[in-house]
Structure 1
Amino acid sequence: MVKHIILWTLKSDLSDKEKENVKKDIKDGLESLKGKIPGLVDIKVTTIGRLSSSTADFMLDSTFENEEALRFYSKHPAHVAVADSKVRPFTSARSCLDFEI
């Protein structure tokens, strides 16, 4: 199994209301991929409970059958559509950690 963790920071020019709406749209979009992409075992986006000590705004925690499944996911049209329409236009920074479990 492979874990794929992403931390994002939202663009600073978004209002607090816009940030909440964007995080909801991203959560809904990414979590809707479960069951649609072969090899994707689980996917969860955490958007609430952030402490003031955090340096990112929200997190993706996903699990894949193996590294090949993660590579397949990264290019899958359903994932690319969500990333291009809901994530990339609204984020200014992204950190990724992939590891075997």
Structure 2
Amino acid sequence: MVKHVILWTLKDEFSEEEKLGIKQGIKEGLEGLKGKVPGIVDIKVNINGLASSNADLMLDSTFENEDALKAYAVHPNHVAVADSKVRPYTKIRSCLDYEI
């Protein structure tokens, strides 16, 4: 199996209230991909980081294998969520993929 972990930082231009709504939209959009994108074993988005965090939210996902992760990256449902709910609002993206 393969873990796919992403940390995002939202753009500074958003108020704290706007950021809450953006984070909820990202969470709902990405978690909603389970069962729609083949190869996803588990997918969770944490939007409740502690004040000591230097990122706003985290994707913690597990895929059957590396090929499933590659297919997820270009799957139309994933691309639609990324283009509408993630990319317009984030300024920093850090990713770590690894085998478990």
TM-score (norm 2): 0.98
Report the AA paired with residue 52 of structure 1. A
Summarize deviations over 1:11-70 as a string: whole Å, max 9, x none.
00100110000000000000000001111111000001x122211000000000000000
Distance 2:13 2:38 in 1: 36
- Name the structure 1 match of 2:88: 89
The answer to whether residue 22 in structure 2 is matched with residue 22 in structure 1 is: yes
TM-score (norm 1): 0.97
Alignment of 1:62-73 (within 5 A): 62-73=61-72
- Name the structure 2 match of 1:100: 99
Report the AA paired with residue 73 of structure 2. S
Alignment of 1:1-101 (within 5 A): 1-48=1-48, 50-101=49-100
Structure 2: runs of 5 or more not aligned: none
Structure 1: runs of 5 or more not aligned: none
Distance 1:55 1:20 in 2: 16
Q: Cα RMSD between the aligned structures? A: 0.5
- 2:36 is paired with a residue whose SS is coil
Q: How many residues align?
A: 100
Give runs of ≥4 in structure 1 deviating > 2 Å: none
Distance 1:54 1:17 in 2: 18
Distance 1:73 1:51 in 2: 29
- 2:38 is paired with a residue whose SS is coil
Distance 2:64 2:51 in 1: 34
